[in-house]
């Protein structure tokens, strides 16, 4: 099944976007349809091999008549002319309408000119309302506004004929003209603000490279990043983005990784440094050997996570979508009740109609339908700029309500960057170099942090073939070398040196041990202190021995911890916590290795540390911290709580404002009822949008400077 991506522009409300998504889902053979209101991207999957574009076009235009469909790989592209056309229709309609109202002339001529002006101003809204109603059976904002404006004009025409006897314009004509003019201005402002917000979100996430400079001997030529194979050499110059993940083969440079990790300070890259796609060179020239295809690169994975974030909506956003669906029908029902209520109380029929129309106008759901998804997507975009990739707004909501966080230890709270401190021989037959060689032969294929430290220390030792190689997860490895059975493992805490110890055993006899030291990550202590202040429970599950785990837990203030665990045991303990928690509690698991993938997938919220890590870990998690910094979890928690505050302030503000104005209108407080209704609709929507956009500028606070001296756990405990 092939996945397609189209850009569909000129969708100006989230409710319209939902109707569009529903209509496209009904196309034969289309599955997993999703339209992202903030990025304007439509994604779907289909096995159809025929030309399905006419079906897509029909579904789109039957739902949104002035939509603009764009596909990078097709000729189906239209000019961006809608805003200009809207402005022309508005200016011509407003001029004709006000000439008819202000210039002295016969009443009939006034009504004709005002009618022409009103038709030009209302044309787009009425046309969309008709298409949506008759072709797609949708009743939404366009329908409510059209009925309200035409109804008010009809009342004004009735008053002109009956009450004024065609001697003057009746009450309602002036109001109708002012309402549609102010509404049109408001909608254009709304579209402009929405376009600006979309551009701001797009700029936050604009990390895709335009090209790759492929090197062949002495020749260089630009190619699309998608065409570069693994093992190719690409050259990057100052001001250019790195097109693919790779390793620096030659050159040195300062680079900007702020778009990937949020780190504001430049870092240095030189021969042997790993570098991610999307990195910007500030100076120098680098030649890089690519280690991944573009589709597997850091930048492609980031963009994919962002594009698919819309698939997993928060409960609040889902509720608003369902609420908006029924809201319009409820409002129409209330308008009918208001009409009959006024009539039953003895008011003129025109008064009942007038207040029913005001209710229709005030109650348009745009303020909810636009501001809520926009707030969530602004937060997702802001988080991505700080190096926090959130796969859906639902995970942002869960993060704000997490009651317990369970951490893996190595590579999550500690750097996992072990350093060999000492090698001890326990048998005079073997030197320390022999001990190191046996360990290197056993760990030569492992990617475990301790194994990498041993490999690094044993760099230069000739690797020889071994037989009967067996790996016991969480325990160690055994193999046969020159007739002897060698075991490397039983990682434990050395009681004398307070270091991590790896045993080397030959034929069941210990012959030596290698002592290593790990270090806490710079922001681990700060994170744990913050979470405890937020009344979030902390726990740590580690495969390391009890002494090491206890020591780390003590420094971080974590009271609940387990040691010596296999991945299966970690999963089982997490499962028990999930079964015993209350319904309104959420448990997060934070890990970094492939062995953490099952727990990351099972937790209410799985947070993986490092985008460059195991693809299985990134896939299993709900949130990815790109640069492996535990301090970003604090940022995530603060942003999620701030986002919920913005969302609920928008909902409460819009709801309370509309209810208050409706009550005051029905009590006759406002003399210009319809003009106040315009504010209750368009004005409230604009204010809610502006409030949502505050998330784009959210400040996480001052970051700690990078490049601080790495302090080992032993050194930290000495302080």
Residues that are catalytic: 408
Give the C-alpha distances (Å, rounded to integers) separating 561 from 166, 552, 599: 86, 10, 16
Q: Which of 426, 373, 274, 424 is nearest to 692 (CA)?
A: 373
Spatial CA neighbour of 23 closest among 54, 49, 62, 50: 62
Half-sphere exposure of 450 (CA within 13 A, CB side): 24
Q: Give, in degrees to the nearest 5, the angle at Cα 149 between 114 and 116.
A: 25
C-alpha–C-alpha distance, residues 545 and 385, integer Å: 38
CA 528 to chain centre: 25
Q: How far apart are CA 474 and CA 400, in angstroms?
A: 34
**Whole-angstrom distance, CA of residue 301 vs CA of residue 668:** 57
Phi/psi at 705 (5° precision): -65, 140
Rounded CA separation 523/572 (Å): 28
* Dihedral sign of CA atoms 553, 559, 560, 564 in order: positive
**212: which 2 tokens?**
């790759």
Backbone phi and psi for residue 42, each to the nearest 5 degrees, phi listed first? -105, 130
Q: What length does the chain have?
A: 719
Rg of the Cα atoms in the chain: 33
Q: In what order do the strands lie in the sheet with 246-250?
A: 219-223, 212-216, 233-236, 286-290, 246-250, 274-275
Strands across the sheet containing 280-281: 267-269, 253-256, 280-281
Phi–psi pair at 421, nearest 5 degrees: -95, -35
Distances 173 to 163, 339, 344, 436 between C-alpha atoms, Å: 13, 20, 26, 93
How far is the C-alpha of 411 from the C-alpha of 19, rounded, in Å? 45
Residue whose token pair is 């993060």: 399
Distance CA(493)–CA(563), nearest Å, equals: 12
Instruction: Tell me if 275 sits within 8 A of 247, measured CB to CB.
Output: yes
- The full DSSP string for 36-89 is ETTTTEEEEEE---S--HHHHHHHHHHH-TT-EEE-TTSS----S-HHHHHHHH
DSSP string, 438-459: HHHHHHTT--SHHHHHHHHHTT
- Kind plus residue range of the DSSP H or E element containing 355: helix 349-362
SS3 105: coil
Of the candidates 65, 60, 62, 61, which has an alpha carbon nearest to the alpha carbon of residue 42?
60
Q: How far apart, in whole angstroms, are the C-alpha atoms of residue 361 and residue 408?
A: 54
Q: How many other C-beta atoms can be found within 10 angstroms of the C-beta atom of residue 519?
A: 20
């Amino acid at each position: 099944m092939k996945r397609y991506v189209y850009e569909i522009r000129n969708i100006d409300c989230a409710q319209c976007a939902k109707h569009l998504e529903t209509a496209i889902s009904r196309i034969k053979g289309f599955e997993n349809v999703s339209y992202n209101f903030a990025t304007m991207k439509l994604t779907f999957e289909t096995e159809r091999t025929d030309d399905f574009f006419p079906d897509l076009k029909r579904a789109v235009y039957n739902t949104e008549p002035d939509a603009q469909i764009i596909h990078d790989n097709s000729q189906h592209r239209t000019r961006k002319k809608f805003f200009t056309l809207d402005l022309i229709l508005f200016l011509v309609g407003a001029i004709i309408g006000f000439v008819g109202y202000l210039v002295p002339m016969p009443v009939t001529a006034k009504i004709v000119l005002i009618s022409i002006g009103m038709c030009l101003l209302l044309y787009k809204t009425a046309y969309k309302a008709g298409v949506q109603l008759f072709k797609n059976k949708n009743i939404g904002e366009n329908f409510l506004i059209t009925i309200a404006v035409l109804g008010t004009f009809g009342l004004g025409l009735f008053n002109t004929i009956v009450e004024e006897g065609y001697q003057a314009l009746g009450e309602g004509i002036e109001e109708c003209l002012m309402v549609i003019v102010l509404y049109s201005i408001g909608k254009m402002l709304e579209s402009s603000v929405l376009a600006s917000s979309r551009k701001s979100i797009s700029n936050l996430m604009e990390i895709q490279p335009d090209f790759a400079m492929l090197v062949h001997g002495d020749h260089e030529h630009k190619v699309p990043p998608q065409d570069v194979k693994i093992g190719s050499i690409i050259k990057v110059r100052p001001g250019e983005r790195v097109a693919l993940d790779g390793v620096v083969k030659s050159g040195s440079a300062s680079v900007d990784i702020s778009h990937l990790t949020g780190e504001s300070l430049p870092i240095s890259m030189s021969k042997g440094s790993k570098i991610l796609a999307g990195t910007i060179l500030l100076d120098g020239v680098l030649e890089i050997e690519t280690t991944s295809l573009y589709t597997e690169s850091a930048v492609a994975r980031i963009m994919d996570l962002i594009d698919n974030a819309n698939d997993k909506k928060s409960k609040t956003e889902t509720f608003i979508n369902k609420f908006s669906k029924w809201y319009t029908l409820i409002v129409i029902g209330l308008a009918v009740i208001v009409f009959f209520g006024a009539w039953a109380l003895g008011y003129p029929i025109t008064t009942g109609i007038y207040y029913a129309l005001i209710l229709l106008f005030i109650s348009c759901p745009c303020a909810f339908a636009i501001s809520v998804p926009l707030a969530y997507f602004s937060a997702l975009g802001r988080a991505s700029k700080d190096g926090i990739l959130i796969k859906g707004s639902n995970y942002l909501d869960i993060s704000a309500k997490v009651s317990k966080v369970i951490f893996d230890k190595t590579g999550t709270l500690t750097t996992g960057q072990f350093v060999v401190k000492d090698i001890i021989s326990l048998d005079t037959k073997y030197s320390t170099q022999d001990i190191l060689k046996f360990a290197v032969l056993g760990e030569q294929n492992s990617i475990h942090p301790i194994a990498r430290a041993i490999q690094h220390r044993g760099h230069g030792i000739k690797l020889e073939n071994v037989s009967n190689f067996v790996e016991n997860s969480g325990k160690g490895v055994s193999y046969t070398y020159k007739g002897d059975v060698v075991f490397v493992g039983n990682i434990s805490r050395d009681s004398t040196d307070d270091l991590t110890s790896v045993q080397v055993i030959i034929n069941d006899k210990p012959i030596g041990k290698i002592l290593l030291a790990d270090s806490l990550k710079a922001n681990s202590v700060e994170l744990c202190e913050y979470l405890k202040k937020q009344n979030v429970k902390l726990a740590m599950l580690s495969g390391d021995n009890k002494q090491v785990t206890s020591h780390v837990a003590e420094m971080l203030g974590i009271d609940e911890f387990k040691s010596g665990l296999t991945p299966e045991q970690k999963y089982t303990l997490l499962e028990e916590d999930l079964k015993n928690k209350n319904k309104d509690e959420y448990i997060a698991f934070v890990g970094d290795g492939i062995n953490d993938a099952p727990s990351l997938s099972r937790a209410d919220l799985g947070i993986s540390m490092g985008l460059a890590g195991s693809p299985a870990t990134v896939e299993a998690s709900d949130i990815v911290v790109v640069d492996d910094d535990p301090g970003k979890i604090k940022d995530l928690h603060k942003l999620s709580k701030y986002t919920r505050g913005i969302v609920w302030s928008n909902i409460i503000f819009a709801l309370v404002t509309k209810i208050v104005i409706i009550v005051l209108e029905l009590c006759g407080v406002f003399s210009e009822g319809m003009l106040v209704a315009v504010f209750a609709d368009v004005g409230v929507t604009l204010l809610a949008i502006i409030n949502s956009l505050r998330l784009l500028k959210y400040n996480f606070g001052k970051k700690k400077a990078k490049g601080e001296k790495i302090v080992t756990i032993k050194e930290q405990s000495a302080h």
